[in-house]
Amino acid sequence: YGFIEVNDVRYIKTVLAIKEQLFHKNLMYRYINADDFGKPSSSFTICTFWLVQALYRIGMEDEAKCVFNNLLSYSNHVGLFSEDISFETKQLLGNFPQAYSHLALINTATLFSKKKIGSSFIKP
């Protein structure tokens, strides 16, 4: 969002600390503290996409791509995602299909695009 540079040591340490605390079985918790439903038992799909974006931005592109490819393998047979994914079974849980998950998918996929494709009608 522009309030801190991606190469700032505070940003890098924050990304790594969040990954350390919330990354579990190739997916991200939204949070780990118990709430009215108890301790969370599934991942929050958008958070895993956000982790991929953060890893990519701090220069950990290979790890980001690995996490991204694992996450893509958890979609259903037509490539759709739900709000949550089971850590154990990788079953899609919660709201389905989830628009926010797909927006994050698109935003994350554009990071890996080496060639920017624009309209032939619009000159840069």
Half-sphere exposure of residue 46: CA atoms within 13 angstroms, side-chain side: 14
pLDDT in tens, 88-101: 999 999 989 899 99
Residues facing residue 85 across a β-bridge: 43, 92
Q: What is the mean pLDDT of residues 74-85?
A: 94
Query: Binning pLDDT at 50, 70 and 90, where does residue 113 land?
Result: confident
Residues facing residue 23 across a β-bridge: 28
Note if the pTM is more than 0.95.
Answer: no
Tell me the Cα Rg of the chain. 16
pLDDT computed for residue 118 by the predictor: 57
Residue in the structure block whose two tokens are 């790594």: 16
Residues facing residue 42 across a β-bridge: 86
